[in-house]
Structures are given as C-alpha cells and as structure tokens.
Amino acid sequence: MALLTLGINHRTAPVELRERVAFTPERMAEAFAELRATSGASEAAILSTCNRTELYLAGDDDCAPMVLRWLAGFHGLETAELEEALYMHRDGDAVRHMMRVAAGLDSMVLGEPQILGQLKDAYALAREHGASGSFLSRLFEHTFSVAKRVRTQTAIGENPVSVAYAAVSMAHHIFADMSRNKALLIGAGKTIELVARHLADAGVRDFLVANRTLERAQALAESRGGKGIVLSEIPEHLPDVDIIISSTASPLPILGKGAVERALKRRKHRPYFMVDIAVPRDIEPEVGSLADVYLYTVDDLRQVIEENIRSREGAAREAENLVAAGVQDFLNQLRALDAVSTLKQFRQRAELLRDNEIDKALRALRNGGDPETVLRSLARGLTNKLLHEPSVQVRKATTEGRTEVTEWLRELHQLDALDADATTTPEKL
C-alpha cells in the first residue's frame, strides 16, 4: 500500500489561499466520504490548522492527480491555483514529514507544542468517520511516540515561542503597560487558552472571552477573573477593549469594518491592537485600513517568531536525529510485516504440498503398499515438490546474471556452514 501526503502550509501559501483550502468541522463528514470515493485512497486523514492543510492517504500509488482535482473542486478552486503552493511526499518521505510536523519541526514556530494535539485530533476525527484503517493507525501511533520522545529528550519546547506568545509580544509595541488594558479574546480553544495565559503573564487583568457557546466562554474567562459573552454581544463591548485576539473555526468573518468604525468613534483615538490567528480569518482585512487600528494576521507574526527560535536550533538538530531514527524504525516494522505475510504464504504452500504427499502415501498404504517403500516415496516426493520451483527460479536468475539470488539461497539455508562442516569432518574423525 502506497502512502501519500499532500498539502499546503505557511511556507508555500499566503493566508489568503490557506483560508480557502481550510476544512470546516461542518464539512468533514462530506470531505471524508468524497475523498475516499473519488481519489483511490482506501484510508485518509485531514489536518486543517491556521498554518496548514494536509491530507494523509494510504491507497493506490497513482492517486495523487485525483486527490489534487478533488481538493481543488471541493473548495471551488482551479487546480492550477493550488499546484504552485502544493507539496507532495510519498512513502518514506511522507512518514518523515508527518513526524516532523508532529514534533513541531515544520511549524512556523519551531517546536511549538499545539500541532501535536491538532494532529491527534485529526487522527481521532478520521477514526470517528471510519476513514483511518490499520495502515494509517499504525503510522499515527508511531508518530505520536516519536513526538513524545522529542518533547522529553530535547529542549525544543522549553522557551515560550508559540503563535500565541508572539501575538502577545507584539502587543508590547503598542502598549507599554498592559496592566491598564482590557483584552477581548474571540474563541475558546487551545490557542486562545494559551493567549490568555501569556496576556496574564504580561500583566493583563481585565478579560472578556467571546464564544459561540456561553458555557465555554465563561469557563475560560473565569479562570482568568474575566467575563464570558456570546459572539453576538461583541459590538456592545467593543468600545471598552484595547486588545483583540481571535482564533475560531468560523467559515465567515466575525468582526467587520463597520462594527470597528462605530467603536472607534466612541474611543477618541485610543488605538486597537488586533491579531487574527484564525484561518479562515475572523476579522475582515479591511479593518486594518482604519486609523488607530493595528491589525496583524498569523503571517505577520513571522518576524517575532524567528527572533525567538535561535535558542531552539540545537535542540532541533537533536530532534531531527530522533525523527530520522523513528522513520527508520517504522519502515523496518513495515518490512517485517511484509516478511510475515510472505512467510505465511510460503508456509501455506509447503503445508499444501505436504498434505498432498501424505494423502498419496495413505492411499498407497490402504492399497497394501510396503510401508518402507511408501515412506521413502513420501520423503522423495515431498523433497522434490519443495525444491522444484526454487531450483527452476535460481537457475533462471543465474542465467540472467542475477547471481545475488544464489547468494541469498546460500544464506537462507546456511550452505556455507554445511561446507565448513563437511571440510572439518575428516579431521574430527
């Protein structure tokens, strides 16, 4: 079975394209059904985050063109729009890519830990929809094990260098003393939880958390001494906040230019700092054109992030070594599984030949045959049957110049050891 990874990420595609290729939770069931029905992939998993959309597939070796056409069509794009930003990895390279992603080595923020959780969620979703079979399940489980070793055996995750941390760091360029500022966090997922933690560490004490479900918003807000609201209440509270950081899975913008314009009139030129981490974006891009609004997307955080990853570069080299070992270990496991299947077939064939010869011998005995003659005939017949096809193939291979087959035969049956025993036998006598 062939393994294929196909996708786009923050290095190959701008946010404008990434948000068009993102998968919303509401369409995942449809996506899995279509993908497996039209692409030639028997197993599939989909990872969709603010920085990447990737498909992990097991199936036909030539399924890549069909997958590309499906991906473009599913999102209403022309195939050509995707091709320039698309990357593909096959078999061993696909294994290595997934492990690097899980370890945070392919992230915008080197070593960031959230991607591992997102990959686990993608695997769980694939299993929930019956899209992940034994092959992908084995790969995901092994990948998670490698990522855990990277986390525990290297220092790649020691310093806070996440997208959330970078977003809060940028706020210092606008507000020198953030203890005086009120923050509105839109969403209540893991990224926003991390943002809230870093804002609190930076001195912010006044929090609002807006979410589709009030219970989740209240739970996160109350953990920081703040207040939870639903998304429809955002315009009412907009004039009172200074920092807005958003990360939801909404397919449409949550905060528009009109609402921000109305809030600005009441703020008397007090600036807004906004970071839109979501893909698709939660804040209309036109908001950034307004005076006194400093709006950044996930792509704008790159410079801040790059300044903070130098301390992780040594750990990254160690992590790459662990990934390389993990890839080799997984491929060895696959080869071992192939050997088990081949050995099973080999044994089944030998047992069939054995049963045929035993049946023939039993018939001879029932017909009054001499037992010794029957036994010798059985042994001779079984030996001939077992050795006939291998002998034919070895002679054929040797004639064709494939002399390594003869060497494999000598290794499999330890013929060199037999030759050595034959040489030493007279001396022993």
Please work out, in degrees rounded to the nearest 5, the angle formed at the alpha carbon of residue 125 by the alpha carbons of 106 and 214: 95
The secondary element (H helix, E strand) that includes residue 376 is helix 371-399
Is the CB of residue 121 less than 8 Å from the CB of residue 102?
A: no
pLDDT at residue 100, as a whole number: 95
Residue 243 bridge partners (DSSP)? 183, 273
pLDDT at residue 419, as a whole number: 64
Ranges of the chain with pLDDT below 50: 427-429
pLDDT digits (tens, 9 = 90+) for 350-371: 888 888 889 988 998 999 889 9
pLDDT digits (tens, 9 = 90+) for 193-249: 999 999 998 999 999 999 999 999 999 999 889 999 999 999 999 999 999 999 998
Which DSSP string do the residues of 96-144 spell out, in sequence order?
Answer: HHHHHHHTTTTSSSTT-SHHHHHHHHHHHHHHHTT---HHHHHHHHHHH
50 in catalytic set? yes
Is the CB of residue 169 less than 8 Å from the CB of residue 199?
A: no
Of the residues 8, 47, 50, 200, which is catalytic? 50
pLDDT at residue 4, as a whole number: 93
Q: Report pTM.
A: 0.63
Amino acid occupying residue 95: V
Contacts of residue 160, Cβ cutoff 8 Å, sequence gap at least 6: 198
- Long-range contacts formed by 44-48: CB under 8 A, 24+ apart: 44/126, 44/131, 44/132, 44/136, 45/122, 45/123, 45/125, 45/126, 45/131, 45/132, 45/136, 45/140, 46/122, 46/125, 46/126, 47/7, 47/101, 47/118, 47/119, 47/122, 48/22, 48/23, 48/122
Contacts of residue 271, Cβ cutoff 8 Å, sequence gap at least 6: 174, 242, 292, 293, 294
pLDDT at residue 423, as a whole number: 57
Is the CB of residue 187 less than 8 Å from the CB of residue 211?
A: yes
Q: Which two tokens stand for residue 294?
A: 């400093």
| Nearest-angstrom CA–CA distance, 130 and 29 | 10
CA distances from 349 to 143, 346, 352, 353, 382 (A): 36, 5, 5, 6, 12
CB neighbourhood size of 204 (10 A): 24
Q: Which of 216, 225, 219 is nearest to 182 (CA)?
A: 225
Classify the phi-psi angles of 128: left when phi > 0, otherwise alpha if psi is within -120 to 50, otherwise beta: alpha
Amino acid occupying residue 396: K
Contacts of residue 102, Cβ cutoff 8 Å, sequence gap at least 6: 115, 116, 119, 143, 144, 146, 147
pLDDT at residue 129, as a whole number: 94
* End-to-end Cα separation, the chain, in angstroms: 55
pLDDT at residue 428, as a whole number: 44
Handedness of CA 77, 79, 84, 88 (dihedral sign): positive
Residue 297 bridge partners (DSSP)? 276
